[in-house]
Amino acid sequence: TIDGSIINFCDAPRFKVKHTELIRNNSLSSDGTYLEVATRDDNIHVAVGARLLGYECDNNFESTVNILQNRCFHAFGERGVEFCDVSVQCKKPIILVKYVAVKDSRDTPVDHLFEDVESEINAMILDGVEKELQNHIAVYEKMWDHADIEIAGDNELNRAIRFNIFHLMSSANEEDNRVNIGAKLLSGEEYGGHAFWDSELFMLPFFAFVFPNTARKLEEYRYNLLPAAKRNAKKNGLLGAQYPWESADDGSEQCPDWTIEPDGTCYRCCVAQYEQHVTAAIAFGVAKYLQITHDHEFLYSKGINILLETARFWVSRCEWVEKYSRYEINQVTGPDEWHEPVNNNTYTNYLARWNIRYSLQLLSQIKVAKPEKYSEIIHNSDLTQEEIAHWKYVADHIYLPKDCNGIIEQFEGYFNLKDVVISQYDENDWPIRPAALKEYPVEKTQIIKQPDVVMLMHLLRNEFSKEVVKNNYHFYEARTLHGSSLSPSIHAIMGLVVGDDSKAYRYIKRSATLDLLNLQGNTREGIHAANAGGVWQTVIFGFAGININAENVLTIDPKLPALWKSIVFRLHYAGRWLEINISSDKVEVHILQGRSMTILIHGAPVVINGCAEDGI
Ligand code: IFM
């Protein structure tokens, strides 16, 4: 059977949708099924064909005589069904092999879909299933060669970490820059496959360090949607490019303004309107990608445009407040979605400032290094010297909420909220919802959903002293209920930064097994993509202590949990491929491909010899 009647979110009244309509439903050739549908939105044709073969299997499974007989195809509405007979004998196994091909009209002209599907299936049948399987295994072995993390001494956790890596690496397409990664990877329907800030801040580091070609495609996806982001800004009365909170194929905002709850009531959803920090996340993704890969071609041809247009967006988004002689960003929601909307969210204001300053700083570097490129960029982006001066002024005058005894206020007015602190933990050491939340709605309290100030410190660590990071981690950790899967991994990483090592280990266990053990109870809706990326970041940046410092030098400062005897993994960095082997008493780095380089191990410079093959 091929079923064209599939409805997405069939049991969720608010999201239920039939994306496709039937175009063709017939047998493939002498046997087999072929079903072609077209998407209702964009009339993209999707063709699926299948042929089933059956074999009697002798002991070594090598039979080749097809035993399926009396084949007959029927089209039942939107389903194509093929019937056949086969005689079987008790205790004598048979093998059924189904060959399937899927093509769509984005890559294959509509009038070639049928014949391309048919010939691909026939070619697979000629090769045999074993060959297909071997091809598949070869692809995965190559991917594991790049992505595997081997931890000696902690098998259970290692397995859970690999589970997350497997889903992450299986969900991105290194050959397609029209797609990004959905918030539930390829495993579930929740969020409709839409990409969020999750891609840049949680998953991109994995791809940039492990599969840089894939990371480039993810970056190109955002570049392709820059015109849509400009239209989005314009629609909202702003300049530059405003990226959507939820992004699909055309870059328009996909987050609904209204949804219908299971009981039929309507719910006004303001997330897209307020979570504007996504735009800074896209710029941050560009910066991280450049920092890790040193892909200058991307910088000059695409990255700089994203950076300048997002900076331009923030400059126009900032409001001048005469009374205080400062720029403010009001009516936004930061990462903590339980306080919506707020004024001057520290995370948003810092990242807006970073976005503007980083873009200007790159621009001045380009001016010196490549004057002709600089003129071209200035010309293409219609940037004037007055505008550049204004951007500097705005960045220097963005208001950053006050700090009270070293604690940075999450947003203006946060400290005036009811101070509820988490005081009880369950048998798994997981925070119990404070009783006060029965009396006060969460938005009237200091309880938060996920790291906000702590997320900021994770991203812009060099902007804060160790002392400030430590104080803020402890303050906010005691008020974070981890209502989002994006929360535990960031707390693990930041816990290690401030020396809260045992909690960090508990957090990584939580995030690594979040979907494997269905700890949030919603794995049926899909695997939490950002969490999977966060797990990788926790292992590599947290426990293995990999970092790129303010001087752009790769540093390694591991903090292995007591249980771990060693950890081995491979990373791409600045055109090199490295293998890193860390145990409790030593750190070894080998360059598998690329030139020699100096890195800092426990703060001391170490020269790592390159190998003959230069670059990758
Ligand atoms: O992007 C996240 C958000 O931060 C919390 N709610 C779920 C979204 C998608 O994962």
| pLDDT, tens only, 444-494 | 999 999 999 999 999 999 999 999 999 999 999 999 999 999 999 999 999
pLDDT band at 348, cuts 50/70/90?
Answer: very high
If pLDDT is split at 50, 70 and 90, which confidence band does 53 have? very high
Nearest CA to ligand 1 atom 5: 484
Which distant-in-sequence residues (6+ apart) come within 8 Å of 556 by Cβ? 544, 545, 546, 547, 580, 582, 587, 589, 599, 600, 601, 602
Q: What would the mean pLDDT of 414-433 be, rounded to a whole number? A: 94
Residue 60 binned pLDDT confidence (cut-offs 50, 70, 90) = low
Task: Give helix 226-235 / helix 212-224 axis angle, nearest 10°.
Answer: 40
In the chain, the amino acid numbered 435 is A
Q: How far apart are CA 352 and CA 277, in angstroms?
A: 8
- In percent, the amount of the chain with pLDDT more than 70 equals 98
Q: Tokens 């020269």 label which residue?
A: 607
Are 259 and 12 within 8 A, CB to CB? no
Sequence-distant (≥ 6) Cβ neighbours of residue 252 within 8 angstroms = 228, 231, 232, 244
- Burial, 357: exposed, middle or buried (Cβ in 10 Å; 0-12, 13-18, 19+)? middle
- On the question of pLDDT at 33 being above 80, the answer is yes
Q: What is the pLDDT, as a whole number, of residue 186?
A: 96
The yes-or-no verdict on residue 61 having pLDDT over 70 is no
SS3 category, 554: strand
Give the integer Cα–Cα distance in Å for 480 and 455: 12
Tokens of 586: 């030593």
Measured in Å, residue 533 CA sits from the centre of ligand 1 at 13
Residue type, 208: A
Q: Are strands 33-39 and 554-556 parallel, antiparallel or unpaired?
A: unpaired
Name the catalytic one among 189, 337, 376, 525: 337
Q: For residue 484, which atom of ligand 1 is closest to its CA? A: 5
| Integer Cα distance of 490 and 530 in angstroms | 11
Name the token pair of 144: 């594991």
**Residue of 184, 190, 275, 337 to mutate, ligand 1, most atoms within 8 A of C-beta:** 337
Helix axes of 487-498 and 529-537: crossing angle, nearest 10 degrees:
20
Task: Write down the pLDDT at residue 615.
Answer: 44
Q: For residue 82, what are the β-bridge partners?
A: 73
Mean pLDDT value across residues 81-106: 94
Stretch (H or E) spanning 241: none
CA of 35 to the centre of ligand 1 (A): 35
Residue 323 to residues 320, 343, 350, 416, 614, Cα–Cα distance (Å): 9, 16, 21, 22, 58
Residue 612, pLDDT > 80, answer: no
> Taking the model in full, what pTM does it have?
0.96
Specify the residue for token string 């979605």.
337
Nearest alpha carbon, ligand 1 atom 9: 183
Write b or e for each residue in 310-324: b if 16 or more Cβ atoms lie within 10 A of its Cβ, otherwise e. Answer: bbbbbbbbbeeeeee
CA 568 to chain centre: 24
Band (pLDDT 50/70/90 cuts) for residue 62 is low
Which of 198, 448, 454 is the best mutation target for the ligand 1 pocket, counting ligand atoms within 8 Å of the beta carbon and taking the most?
Answer: 198
Atom of ligand 1 nearest to the CA of 449: 5
196 CA closest ligand 1 atom index: 1
Q: Is the pLDDT of residue 363 over 70?
A: yes
Lowest-pLDDT choice from 60-69, 290-299, 303-312, 334-343: 60-69
- For ligand 1, atom 6, which residue shows the shortest CA distance? 484
213 CA to centre of ligand 1 in angstroms: 26
Look up residue 616 and give its DSSP letter.
Answer: -
**Which residues are within 8 A (CB) of 65 and not within 5 positions of it... i.e. 6 or more apart?**
55, 56
Query: In 3D, which of 195, 207, 156 has the Cα closest to residue 536?
Result: 207
Q: Which residue has the tokens 């797609």?
A: 179
Report CA(507)–ligand 1 centroid distance (Å).
18
Quick check: 330 pLDDT over 50? yes
Taking the C-alpha atoms of residue 210 and residue 219, their distance in angstroms, rounded to an integer, is: 15
Kindly indicate the confidence band of residue 262, based on its pLDDT and cuts at 50, 70 and 90.
confident
Ligand 1: which of 190, 196, 336, 487 to mutate, most ligand atoms within 8 Å of CB? 196
Q: Which residue has the higher pLDDT, 58 or 494?
A: 494
- What is the reported pLDDT for 429? 82
- Give the pLDDT score at 65: 85
Distance 521 CA to ligand 1 centre (A): 16
The alpha carbon of 2 and the centre of ligand 1 are apart by a number of angstroms equal to 33
Task: Provide DSSP, 459-527.
Answer: HTGGGS-HHHHHHHHHHHHTTB---STTHHHHHHHHHHHHT-HHHHHHHHHHHHHTTTTTTTS-GGG--
Residue 11 Cα to ligand 1 midpoint, Å, equals 22
587 φ, ψ (degrees, to nearest 5): -125, 120
Tell me the C-alpha distance between 15 and 34, whole Å.
Answer: 28
Helix (H) or strand (E) holding 368, with range, is: helix 346-369
**Is 337 known to be catalytic?**
yes
Ligand 1 centroid to residue 366 C-alpha, Å: 35
> Mean pLDDT across the stretch 75-95?
94
Sheet with 604-608, strands from edge to edge, namely: 546-548, 554-556, 597-601, 604-608
CB contact set of 246 (below 8 Å; sequence gap of 6+): 191, 192, 194, 195, 196, 253, 254, 255, 272
Q: Which residues line ligand 1 (CB under 6 A)?
A: 183, 191, 196-198, 335, 337, 484, 486, 530
Residue 195 Cα to ligand 1 midpoint, Å, equals 10
Mean pLDDT in the chain? 95
Residue 475: both structure tokens together:
């303050």
Which of 486, 511, 520, 522 is the best mutation target for the ligand 1 pocket, counting ligand atoms within 8 Å of the beta carbon and taking the most? Answer: 486
Is the confidence at residue 609, as pLDDT, over 50? yes
The DSSP bridge pattern shows strands 2-3 and 94-104 to be unpaired
Nearest to 154 by CA among 569, 560, 586, 578: 560
Tens-digit pLDDT profile for residues 487-534: 999 999 999 999 999 899 999 999 999 999 999 999 999 999 999 999
Report the nearest-CA residue for atom 10 of ligand 1. Answer: 183
Q: Whose CA is nearest to atom 4 of ligand 1?
A: 335
pLDDT band at 616 (very low <50, low <70, confident <90, very high): very low
Q: Give the count of beta carbons closer than 10 Å to the beta carbon of residue 148.
A: 18
pLDDT at 400: 95
Long-range residue pairs from 163-169, CB within 8 A, at least 24 positions apart, any chain: 163/512, 163/515, 163/516, 164/512, 164/515, 164/531, 164/532, 164/535, 164/536, 165/206, 165/532, 165/536, 167/527, 167/529, 167/532, 168/203, 168/206, 168/529, 168/532, 168/533, 168/536, 169/143, 169/210, 169/211
Q: What is the pLDDT of residue 264?
A: 82
